[in-house]
Amino acid sequence: MHTVVVGTSGVTASDVLAVARAGARVELSDEAVAALAAARGIVDALAAKPDPVYGVSTGFGALATRHISPELRAQLQRNIVRSHAAGMGPRVEREVVRALMFLRLKTICSGHTGVRPEVAQTMADVLNSGITPVVHEYGSLGCSGDLAPLSHCALTLMGEGDAEGPDGVVRPAGELLAEHGIAPVELREKEGLALLNGTDGMLGMLVMALADLDTLYKSADITAALSLEGLLGTDKVLAPELHAIRPHPGQGASAANMLAVLKGSELTGHHQDDAPRVQDAYSVRCAPQVAGAGRDTMAHARLVAERELASAVDNPVVLPDGRVESNGNFHGAPVAYVLDFLAIAAADLASIAERRTDRLLDKNRSHGLPPFLADDPGVDSGLMIAQYTQAALVSEMKRLAVPASADSIPSSAMQEDHVSMGWSAARKLRTAVDNLTRVVAIELYAATRAVELREGLSPAPASRAVIDAARAAGVAGPGPDRFLAPDLAAADAFVRAGHLVAAAETVTGPLR
């Protein structure tokens, strides 16, 4: 099994994906263990002094003015975890919990938190055992960290609360730890606070969304090319020299992808046939501009994610000169903004894909295709309601594109009076990505049928490879009406697994 070694300088997006989705093992580097021990020595020295230090010998948030005596400090750390584990609603996905635990471990291993090496090792042991704390949908405002979600994870380290075992069964966390030979941690000064004061949940969801969107943007380029073929459109608008004079990188990449898919097609360039036209509709002609803008948005979001992956997010932090300083680095604004931005871009990509699908189904705009791509229009309804489903998904995505980060609701007796709502932005982005997959799948379903209905004209070799692979995967072709939901589910699975991109790339080579 792949192993990810955590040091003091952060982790990569591929590390997060390996641990969250592929179950990679986690190990602490010797450098990290040494940094943990050194920072802990600083915290222990401060704890022995009479002067109050936030997070070490004081209460938290609005209660930070109370000095806590040494005999109550272990109780203080236990209590913050128990009281902050206040999430409600449905459980979040296993991959999200693993990502946020791994990213909290990343910050702890930076040597800036003052947590003991044995606590960090316990976190790694829990990840490696396949134990997944039960974390709920609601409880984070994206400021002072993803407090409730991280607290539920910290509760598992203490042997309290509920967790899911490797077998998928939810049981008391203490039982699961015992079965795997993991001793519950006894938290000391600052450790409870350090376990729950980070933007790890929203960052983990950002990293995974970027990975999914990378595949989806390539998929959308392919389905746009198929729709262009089905509509007998022109590929001249994809010429590199046209995109060079508006040099947005994403636009150029999207146009190049579409051009590669369309190479060798007999279906393009029929503008002056039976139904002459000067230009294709915007949804066809401007596909690279819209998808390209989304790609450039992703590039910015990836830059933010890379910076966060190299960050140590905690409050207070232990500095190399021995100071323990309060700060505001836990605020989720940088991550929240790009999560919202990605949801906007995803909604627009879905919207233009739906417009192409609708055009394929409308006999007045499809340039010779049967109404709704039906086998016997009137007797058969064809893909009429598939487009309804697609439209419903797009409408939902438009609602999800409303920014969460534009909102703020004060908490902690006005001490935390401006929050990022980044966790909420991440949760709705996950739904948006899920829906975008379905939207692209429906365009794929309609476009492949349209291409096959153009008898006597051969699609591009890459298009043919996509159609053949889709049919082999259970995505049925033209014919009389049938129970449509299973066909759409097969198309969704085909796109979701990356098989659409893989099929096109057997001809085009790697797409951008």
Active-site residue set: 54
CA–CA separation, 135 and 151 (whole Å): 9
Phi, psi of 191 (to 5 degrees): -70, -40
Q: In whole angstroms, what is the distance from residue 205 CA to residue 93 CA?
A: 10
Q: For CA atoms 86, 92, 98, 100, give the dihedral sign.
A: negative
Angle between helices 73-84 and 147-157 (to 10 degrees): 120
CB atoms within 10 A of CB 103: 30
Answer for the pair 460, 263: CB distance below 8 angstroms, yes or no. yes
Q: State the Cα angle at 338 between 123 and 443, rounded to 5°.
A: 105
Mark 360-391 as b/e (b = at least 16 C-beta within 10 Å). Answer: bbeeeebbebbbbbbeeeeebebbbebbebbb
Cis peptide before 410 (omega within 30 of 0): no
- The terminus-to-terminus CA distance of the chain in angstroms comes to 29
The kind and range of the H/E element at 91 are: strand 88-91
Residue among 182, 235, 6 nearest 101 (CA): 6
Among candidate residues 37, 16, 201, 58, the one with its CA nearest the CA of residue 113: 37
* Helix (H/G/I), strand (E/B), else coil: 163: strand
Comparing CA positions, the residue from 387, 364, 379, 378 lying closest to residue 449 is: 387
**HSE on the CB side for 286, CA within 13 Å?**
11
58 DSSP assignment = B
Task: With CA atoms as reference, report the closest residue to 143 among 412, 340, 429, 344.
Answer: 412
C-alpha to C-alpha distance for 339 and 342, rounded to whole angstroms: 5
Do residues 200 and 145 touch, judged by C-beta distance below 8 A?
A: yes
Q: Give the sign of the dihedral formed by CA 244, CA 245, CA 251, CA 254.
A: negative
Phi, psi of 306 (to 5 degrees): -60, -40
- In 195-300, which ranges are E strands? none
Q: Please state the φ and ψ torsions of residue 469, each to the nearest 5 degrees.
A: -65, -40
3-class state of residue 512 by DSSP: coil
Q: For residues 133 and 125, is the Cβ–Cβ distance under 8 A?
A: no
Q: Cβ(83)–Cβ(152) under 8 Å?
A: no
433: tokens are: 């990505």
